[in-house]
Amino acid sequence: MNRSGDMFREWRPHCSLFQKQLAILAMVLFLDGALFGSMLSIARATEEDRAVFADSPMAYAGWTVALTFDDGPHKTCTRALLDGLRERNVRATFFLMGQSIEGNEELIRQMKADGHLIGSHGFSHTELTKAKAEEVRQSLEKTADLLEEITGAEPEYLRPPYGEWNQTLEEATDYITVFWSADSLDWKLQNTEQIVRRVEKTIENGDIILMHDVFPTSVEAALRIVDDLQAGGCRFVTVEELLID
């Protein structure tokens, strides 16, 4: 009897320790689950809050953003975009490709007359970092000469295709390079509703928005974005104006 009592006393502490370990493990799992649930709720709430924010009156009051368009000019899409921006009294920035200039001189003159900033996107849509610096310089000069002949001024701003740039090219050329802080992914989505939703849910004050004026869906989305943000108190400016501010 004494022996079995001793055995019981020896076993009970081990049982109690095991139970404590199980309890601790259960508590850890519970807290992890609760934390994950809270994080998920916060993420959902943040997305819902942004949606509500975007729809609220004067949601963008005091904001200033720059709309930028690459790859043009496009005979029909750029024309529709320019007409829509003029109706809304909005100035944007256009980074034009040299190979798309011929035949679209009238559109470029309209850009200048409407107060848009005209920059260079190179002569063709190739990665400039894969070419020699002298070849890049000559290509940019060719585009600059075409634009100067039409507008009377060489472009000062450059957006390298794909955003590919390096220090060697920076030193070999004399441009102010402009990238972006908000990517609409309009070239990939090619869906008006999705483009609008993406921009309006992610945009921040001071953003440079990347779009392209060579797709009908991009033009429709850009004008929708302008309408929504202007209604919320946002002001649209050129890249130059944004950088000066």
Q: Where are the beta strands (DSSP E) in the chain?
A: 64-70, 93-96, 117-120, 157-158, 176-177, 182-183, 208-212, 235-237
Q: Which residues are part of the catalytic machinery?
A: 70, 212
Q: What string of pLDDT tens digits covers the 245 residues of the chain?
A: 333 343 333 334 444 544 555 455 555 444 455 444 444 443 444 444 444 445 565 789 999 999 999 999 999 999 999 999 999 999 999 999 999 999 999 999 999 999 999 999 999 999 999 999 999 999 999 999 999 999 999 999 999 999 999 999 999 999 999 999 999 999 999 999 999 999 999 999 999 999 999 999 999 999 999 999 999 999 999 999 999 87
pTM for this structure? 0.77
Q: Tens digits of per-residue pLDDT, 63-93?
A: 999 999 999 999 999 999 999 999 999 999 9
Cβ–Cβ under 8 Å, residues 207 and 181: yes
Cβ–Cβ under 8 Å, residues 69 and 241: no
Q: Tens digits of per-residue pLDDT, 149-162?
A: 999 999 999 999 99
Instruction: From residue 166, give the alpha-carbon distance in Å to each of 26, 72, 77, 79, 176.
Output: 54, 24, 32, 33, 13
